[in-house]
Amino acid sequence: MPDNANRSGACVMDRFALESSLRVANARVAAGRWALLEQRVQIRELEQCGLDASLARALLRIYEQSQAASIVDRNRLYHAMTSPAAAAPSPVDYDDRGLFDADDDICFQQAA
């Protein structure tokens, strides 16, 4: 299987995209912490009232699994950002200067 990071035009996540994804992942982990806390409070309140909390506990286990996956994803993104490959310039060329002739610019100006 070819290494996509070395092919021109391949799907390469640049530093900006990594930072954005890491911010989203951090927000997801923070939201997960609140969800876990709230669910634990719900369980405690149900149990204090003598009610069945088995469904709430099952939901807590789902939240814990989701939180674990969110943490793994966040850590993967963090390691991708701190790896030496993330500091290297992307093989994808984003510079489009020189792709257009000066005459093209004149046509765009006349059309506007």
Per-residue pLDDT tens over the stretch 3-33: 444 444 444 568 889 999 999 999 999 999 9
Domain count, the chain: 1
Cβ-based neighbour number of residue 27 at 10 Å: 12
Cβ-based neighbour number of residue 70 at 10 Å: 19
Within a domain: residue 55?
Answer: yes
Within a domain: residue 74?
Answer: yes
pLDDT confidence bin for 99, thresholds 50/70/90: low
Within a domain: residue 94?
Answer: no
pLDDT confidence bin for 103, thresholds 50/70/90: low
Give the integer Cα–Cα distance in Å for 62 and 55: 11
Within a domain: residue 3?
Answer: no
Mean pLDDT over 66-95 rounds to: 80
pLDDT, residue 59, reads 97
Average pLDDT for the chain: 80
Question: Which pTM does this prediction carry?
Answer: 0.64
Range of the domain at 23: 13-87
Q: Angle, nearest 10°, between helix axes 15-48 and 54-82?
A: 160
